[in-house]
Amino acid sequence: MTSFLRPRPALTSLAWPLAALALLVLFNLLFTPGFFNIELRDARLFGTPIDILNHASKVAIVAVGMTLVIATGGVDLSVGAVVAIAGAIAAMLATRTQAPFPLVVLAALAAGGVAGLCNGVLVTRLRLQPIVATLVLMVAGRGVAQLITDGLIITFEHRELSSLANTSFALLPIPAWIAIALALATGLLTRRTAAGMFLEAVGDNDRACRYAGVNDRAIKLAAYAFCGGCAGLAGLVECSYIKAADANNAGLFLELDVILAVVIGGTSLSGGRFSISGSLAGAVLIQTLTKTMYMHDVSADVAPLPKAIAVLAVCVLQSPVVKDRVSAAFSRGRP
Amino acid sequence: MPTRRPTRRTILAAFCLAGLSLAACEKKAEDKPAEPKAGATGTPAPKLRVGFSQIGAESDWRRANTESIKGEAAKRGVELVFADAQQKQENQIKALRSFIQQKVDVIAFSPVVETGWEPVLKEVKEAGIPVILTDRAVDVSDPNLFVTFIGADFVEEGRRAANWVVKATGGKAMVAELQGTPGSAPAIDRKKGFEEVIKAHPDIKVIKSQSGEFTRAKGKEVMETFLKSSEGASINVLYAHNDDMALGAIQAIEEAGRKPGVDIKIVSIDAVRAAFEAMVAGKLNCTVECNPLLGPQLFDAVEALAAKKPVEKRIVTKEGVFEQAQAAEAIKTRQY
């Protein structure tokens, strides 16, 4: 096959989620009155698309970390529980101590990072299957968060912490900026250095990597720790959003949405290939779907169905078989 | 791609870890076990053993409920085997089966969902252990599968909320409704009771209704969507199936530049402490009580069963309705 028939992987992986997103936006343009009403109020944009960005950023932040873990051929099921732990720690520090805001942020991020490291050690040192290793923390983590908050919903009035997810900077909500900055930084770090190649190489064939002198364990460990840190960041955003730490519900089932966003974004679950921009697009797509369902009064008990159908459609379109057929059809069409 | 086959060592380690995590859960469930003081009552009769499977610790309400049950058990010298189901029906079914094996005298539980209880309740019945439902009901074809249901009347709570709306708005309102978790008894019944009452008032319309899953975050997110919908500007009453969703929605209303409690009147159910705080701040208008302190009534029933006395099939908890004017006074005596 000639090279022009195989566009750069980053492009193809982005094409499908973006196409699905465009379709969904078109649907809303036609059938959802008021969907695009954006107004400027108190120096911030106000409207449904902004809400979508705001809510999608939580999934997007975790998805950036998850993308790297999945690139190494692993998976992290514990992110939802880590969100709860980080939120609990931040809320306790903000209410029970006089800790300055940077310390609160640092503590939440550190808690996430440590949780990620635990996962990484289980995977790399004890050689556990990632799904089993992270399941441990997924189950136990929420209990840890409950222990921290003593089973209560901790409400706080902390000025900086409560404004984190509820104020705007340069028109967009702060969480959206956090997600964009995190994705950009991670993208630069992985694609402009050899880190991305190492991640993909480890995900593709870790033994070959080791023989080639690449420290595959260190790379995996770093990926899990980074993913934990991302979950910690998302935990801050989540608790800031409702100005309370709800250990029981914070980040509940978040891991599923995140893995979905990553897969929709074209990152292969078997590892060896990843796209951060794809994961971002996936996160926005999932949130747009959710919002569309709310706006059309789809009752919550049937809402998962249209969501599942849309996700299935994107995944089918992305499958190698369908992709090859499509590109074959295109190349036949060429003069 | 050379995938490493799971060696015996890996599998062993996995099992150990799974066991560890289970042990951790188990430990959490039995956190603060209600150790009754032996001999405190001085009765020679063997100590009653009650197995209780709680839904989880999803809200302040549930926590108060758990404390009430544990506290009352300790006070009466009943041995309580407590299990936290973490919102999962399969965990509750496992807990009920373990209660059978432990041969407890009475099993009590708050079912996560209404359906799917028939097989395990039959097993309990065959073991000859009486079952008491607390707080939430089950949907079974044979009502003899349980002895009694102690709890609030959710339909009545919905009616009370609707009556308040009628009174506060003079029978004219555009209502947005935040429903509970789809399929749960309180969500179904609170919606039903509310609709029953407003049927007689054609000028009260529920123009938006969606699940906020009983959580603050979802309550806020869904309210945000309501307010931005084409009918958003006309909403002047919010009915939330629990306080937490209302508290989340209050933030969304404020962010949309409207005054909660004034522009949009808010009624919710449960009457937890945070709701009273919001009422004192003027942001919530009314909360319909759903009393979590069912410990005393539960153990009254348990002791009656042990003494082979008849127990009523339906025991309704005592509940009130609180408005802003009473909030400052009532908050002082609030236990939860």
A101: domain CATH number is: 1.10.3470
Reply yes or no on whether the pLDDT at A46 is more than 90: no
3 state SS of B64: helix
A74 within a domain of the structure (yes/no): yes
A6 within a domain of the structure (yes/no): no
Non-local (6+) Cβ contacts of A15 within 8 A are: none
Strands annotated E in B43-98? 49-54, 79-84
A324 within a domain of the structure (yes/no): no
What's residue A316's pLDDT? 83
Q: pLDDT tens digits, residue range A72-81? A: 999 999 999 9
Nearest CA in chain A to B12: A128
Angstroms from B335 CA to nearest CA on chain A: 14
Based on the number of CB atoms within 10 Å of its own CB, is A211 exposed (0-12), middle (13-18) or buried (19 or more)? exposed
Taking an 8 Å cut-off on Cβ atoms, the answer to whether A135 and B21 are in contact is: yes
What's residue B100's pLDDT? 95
Strands of B106-109's sheet, edge to edge? B79-84, B49-54, B106-109, B131-134, B148-151, B314-316
Categorize the per-residue pLDDT at A3 as very low, low, confident or very high, splitting at 50, 70 and 90. very low
Taking an 8 Å cut-off on Cβ atoms, the answer to whether A249 and B20 are in contact is: no
Q: Which residues 12-71 on chain A approach chain B with CB closer than 8 angstroms? A: 33-34, 37, 41, 46-48, 51, 55
Share of residues in chain B with pLDDT > 70 (%): 87
Q: Is B2 on the interface with A (CB under 8 A)?
A: yes
Reply yes or no on whether the pLDDT at A307 is more than 50: yes
A157 within a domain of the structure (yes/no): yes
Taking an 8 Å cut-off on Cβ atoms, the answer to whether B228 and A34 are in contact is: yes
Amino acid of residue A298: V
What's residue A108's pLDDT? 97
> Is the four-CA dihedral B283, B286, B288, B292 of positive or negative sign?
positive
A327 within a domain of the structure (yes/no): no
A29 within a domain of the structure (yes/no): no
Q: pLDDT tens digits, residue range A219-264? A: 999 999 999 999 999 999 999 999 999 998 899 889 999 999 998 8
DSSP letters, B87-118, are T-HHHHHHHHHHHHHTT-SEEEE--SSSSS-H
Angstroms from A29 CA to nearest CA on chain B: 13
ipTM (interface pTM): 0.86
The answer to whether B158 touches B190, Cβ cutoff 8 Å, is yes
Angstroms from A241 CA to nearest CA on chain B: 7
Kindly state the average pLDDT of the residues B230-236: 92
Q: pLDDT tens digits, residue range A280-302? A: 999 999 999 999 988 888 887 78
Q: pLDDT tens digits, residue range A186-230? A: 999 999 999 999 999 999 999 999 999 999 999 999 999 999 999
Q: pLDDT tens digits, residue range B17-74? A: 554 444 444 444 444 444 444 444 444 567 899 999 999 877 778 888 999 999 999 9
For an interface test with B, the pick among A131, A248, A269, A301 (most B C-beta atoms closer than 10 Å) comes out as A248
Domain region containing A135: 11-24+46-319
Query: Could you give the domains of chain B?
Result: 46-152+292-317 (3.40.50.2300), 154-290 (3.40.50.2300)
A39 within a domain of the structure (yes/no): no
Taking an 8 Å cut-off on Cβ atoms, the answer to whether A152 and B60 are in contact is: yes
Q: Which residues 182-211 on chain A approach chain B with CB closer than 8 angstroms? A: 204-205, 207
Share of residues in chain A with pLDDT > 90 (%): 64
Categorize the per-residue pLDDT at A325 as very low, low, confident or very high, splitting at 50, 70 and 90. confident
Taking an 8 Å cut-off on Cβ atoms, the answer to whether A132 and B63 are in contact is: no
A31 within a domain of the structure (yes/no): no
What's residue A61's pLDDT? 98
> Is the four-CA dihedral A62, A109, A121, A211 of positive or negative sign?
positive
Q: Is A157 on the interface with B (CB under 8 A)?
A: no
Nearest CA in chain B to A124: B10
Q: Which two tokens stand for residue A162?
A: 């409560």
Q: pLDDT tens digits, residue range B269-292? A: 999 889 999 999 999 999 999 988
Kindly state the average pLDDT of the residues B259-277: 94
Q: Are strands A168-169 and A172-173 parallel, antiparallel or unpaired?
A: antiparallel
Q: Is A304 on the interface with B (CB under 8 A)?
A: no
- Interface A–B counts its CB contacts (< 8 A) at 116
Calpha distance A233→A143 (Å, rounded): 19
The count of domains in chain A is: 1
